[in-house]
Amino acid sequence: MVVLVGYASAHGSTREIAERIGVRLRERGLANHVRDLEREAVEEPERYEALVLGSAVHDRAWLAPAKDFLRHQGELLETRPVWLFSVGMPGALRGPWKRLAATEGPLILADLPGPPPYRSHRLLSGVVSRDQFPLRGRLLFRLMGCRYGDFRDWAAIDSWADGIAREVTAAFVERRRAAAHSGKSGPIGPWEGPDRTLPTSRHPHQADGNRDDSRVTTN
């Protein structure tokens, strides 16, 4: 069983989060490949039994390489369990502006191609630095009372990755048990068809997707 952790990063923060997820999954016994969706070709994507996909967020939208992957692999994503994460700046917001974080997750999901069925979506805080903004953006950022810094909540990221590992492992064990009960032998192949062991949230505005968004943003 191999999991794909695919990401699109603008300044490196999202890449480091994806790498952390990959390490955590590996520590929980799940082989995985961490791939930069902009710079690395994902060969034989159908061999992956589960996918964790994420992107940096600019203007409440994923970066083009991550959205292109969703668009091109739409059929595959219909037949695999998928987890999504977005990396923005909710942790940098302060005062009344912090309430904007609660509205950002559904807008990001609504902009995704499809969007694909997904198990959960997490809106994570990344690194926010001055050099990421033009002069006008820095002035607005200061007027809003926001702050620069590294707002990544590694404990929350680890916890989310652990949950993914538990779900994928449990589903695989159940599929192996079902195969043994039916008298089939040999390796268990990838999920086929939309009727999967793991249920999904098909629509981005469902309650569980919104709940996941608000749970992770801290600072």
Question: How does pLDDT run across 80-89, given as a tens digit for each residue?
Answer: 999 999 998 7
Domains annotated on the chain, with CATH:
2-216 (3.40.50.360)
**Are 83 and 52 within 8 A, CB to CB?**
yes
pTM over 0.85: no
Percent of the chain with pLDDT over 90: 50
As a whole number of angstroms, the longest Cα–Cα distance in the chain is 67
Cα separations (Å) of 25 from 3, 158, 188, 192? Answer: 9, 9, 20, 23
Mean pLDDT score, 175-185: 67
Q: 25-39, 91-105, 198-212: which range is least confident on average?
A: 198-212
Write the CB contacts of 147 (distance below 8 Å, at least 6 apart in sequence). 92, 94, 128
Could you read off the pLDDT of 102-155 as tens digits, one per residue?
788 899 999 999 888 999 999 998 887 767 767 777 777 676 767 777 889 999
Q: How confident is the model at residue 163 (pLDDT cuts 50, 70, 90)?
A: very high
**Are 34 and 201 within 8 A, CB to CB?**
no
Distance in angstroms (rounded) separating the CA atoms of residues 48 and 12: 24
